[in-house]
Structure 1
Amino acid sequence: MGSNPSRPTRFQLQKNAKLLTKSRIQSQANLLTRFVNSRRESISPRTIDFYRDCLTPFAEGYEISSDGINSFLANLGCGNAKLNYYRAIKAFCNWLHRQGYIPENPIRFVDAPKPSKQILPSLTMEQVQYLMEQCDNLRDKAIISLLADSGMRLNELANIHASDIDWDSYVITIIGKGNKQRKAPFTERTAKLLRQCLPNNGIGDNIWHMEPHGIQSMLRKLELETGIKCNAHGFRRGFACNLHRKGLSTLDIMHLGGWEDLSMVLRYTRSITFEDCLQHYREALVCSSSIRREY
């Protein structure tokens, strides 16, 4: 769901908690527990943790009202992660209103934070190739290749079983965000690497024999060794940008990458405009320089 910003400081929580009675704090904490428990069957454990991390400081320090929400968000500063907190609070308030715990939904009177216009870095195919060359073993090469081919999220990648792979169509059936099943593509390059990995793995086993944190550690090690920013989201952004460069529509990219709407795809592919213009600029300078030398 994205990274969290710094939490409100202990002082800020204590200052706001003085405005709430102990019984109110306990009541809001209980409602939060009920909300989280109600979502367990429909969302992933990681999203459960996301809700708990975002909503606990809010429920324990601020009133569930439009003023309380605005005060909480104001203490978070800036950044896209602030939008994640807003979305978590919105889901919580919508649930409270549907269940009849609050007569009016306060989130209706709170403006959503504006997303950052920052251009996000993405991995190029040249960088992917270099990362693969620096891998210590076949398994790590296959992971890098599959991340680049499919744009999978980290948890999706970490839970692939041999039986999920369709060798005829070059697609993998995965459980995506919100426990929704979807298919992700891969190329012949990745297929060759996967076939070499699989003899060491049982048919029903996780093909990597690694947890998500193990894959993260491997990527961090590569980042330190190569100086290339290397994480699953960087590959995901690169997946979107590289397909866009090859002429695929944003709608096609959305479906291939498992996004629910176009907003993230459009945000990721914004970086292409400047990068490609810069490349054209450099090519033009080289061309003009060579022409001057001829004369």
Structure 2
Amino acid sequence: MTQKMHLYLAKQADRLKPSSLGHRIRFVRSLFRYAYEETYLTSNPSLKLREPKIDKRIPKFLIEEDVIHLKISCQSLRERALLEFLYSTGCRVGEVEKINIEDLNWENCSAIVNGKGSKQREVYFTTECKVWLKKYLTSREDSCKALFVTDTHPTRRMAIPTIRWALKRLADRGEIEANVYPHRFRHTYACQLLDNGAPLDFIQGMLGHEKTSTTQIYAQLRGERRRELYRRFF
């Protein structure tokens, strides 16, 4: 069985990316662990399986020109408010989905978000974002407590797929060459902080990263950003 399992994974390695192969190996390990614990097997042949090493990719960001085009392309108050909030807070899309109006502090332009593992943190947004959020909320006639809601009736909290679709539609309208998705704004946010001289430990706290190593990948953005700007403008 062990030989067959290794042959199977070797074939998968020829056609899968390391990250996808890692998912497949975790599934195989889970399956055999269950079979062993339920006494269907007398031993667990997957114990020595190791996941492939995955090179950390440099996060992709939006350059300032793209952000400006996106802002110009907004046709609704919701689009502009959503864009400004993603861009100025660096929130995960799941955090944006869960946030309620009552979580905002207008006085100091901050919000409490629920991050991974139900951990709360305070994020901040710009005065420009505040203006568009207030315009958007004033235009609404619903009683939904969510910060961002659907355009359709009955009004509901804006779900993650809807947020992704709204950004894709905005990018298509603005003829943005880059692939625009919620997490790319998070990368752009980190890049802006780096460009403005923010230390990595500060960025780690603002992004809500548990591990320093997760934030350190952004240190490579300085060089990558220079190369991207050179390719775009030279």
TM-score range for the pair, normalised by the shorter chain length: 0.7 to 0.9
| Alpha-carbon distance in 2 for matches of 1:88, 1:125 | 41
For structure 1, list consecutive stretches of 5 or more residues without a partner in the other structure: 1-18, 20-62, 286-295
Identity %: 23
Preserved contact between residue 138 and residue 193 of structure 1 (Cα < 8 Å): yes
Q: Does 1:205 align with 2:145?
A: yes
Q: Does 1:175 align with 2:123?
A: no
| Alpha-carbon distance in 2 for matches of 1:111, 1:207 | 43
In structure 2, the CA distance between the partners of 1:74 and 1:280, relative to structure 1 (3 Å rule), is closer
Residue of structure 2 equivalent to 1:159? 98
Residue of structure 2 equivalent to 1:38? none
| Alpha-carbon distance in 1 for matches of 2:231, 2:171 | 29
Residue of structure 2 equivalent to 1:217? 165
Q: What CA deviation, in whole Å up to 9, does each residue of 1:257-293 have, x standing for no partner?
A: 112213332334423213326758999x9xxxxxxxx
Matched residue of 2:111: which SS?
A: strand
Q: Does 1:148 align with 2:87?
A: yes
Residue of structure 1 equivalent to 2:152? none
Letter in 1 for 2:198: L
Letter in 1 for 2:166: M
Shift of 1:143: 0.7
| Matched residue count | 220
Preserved contact between residue 163 and residue 204 of structure 1 (Cα < 8 Å): no
Q: What CA deviation, in whole Å up to 9, does each residue of 1:67-86 have, x standing for no partner?
A: 59955863662244444556
Letter in 1 for 2:90: G
| Alpha-carbon distance in 2 for matches of 1:201, 1:72 | 57
Cα RMSD for the two superposed structures: 3.8
| Alpha-carbon distance in 2 for matches of 1:72, 1:179 | 39
TM score, norm. by length of structure 1? 0.61
Q: What CA deviation, in whole Å up to 9, does each residue of 1:6-63 have, x standing for no partner?
A: xxxxxxxxxxxxx6xxxxxxxxxxxxxxxxxxxxxxxxxxxxxxxxxxxxxxxxxxx8
In structure 2, the CA distance between the partners of 1:278 and 1:123, relative to structure 1 (3 Å rule), is closer
In structure 2, the CA distance between the partners of 1:85 and 1:277, relative to structure 1 (3 Å rule), is same
Q: Among residues 221, 229, 247, which one is paired with 2:197 in the alignment?
A: 247
Q: Does 1:129 align with 2:68?
A: yes
Preserved contact between residue 204 and residue 212 of structure 2 (Cα < 8 Å): yes
| Alpha-carbon distance in 1 for matches of 2:43, 2:180 | 45
| Alpha-carbon distance in 1 for matches of 2:46, 2:181 | 33
Preserved contact between residue 173 and residue 184 of structure 1 (Cα < 8 Å): yes
| Alpha-carbon distance in 1 for matches of 2:44, 2:125 | 44
Preserved contact between residue 13 and residue 21 of structure 2 (Cα < 8 Å): no
Bigger relative contact order (CA 8 A; separation at least 6): 2
TM score, norm. by length of structure 2? 0.74
State the structure with more CA Rg. Answer: 1
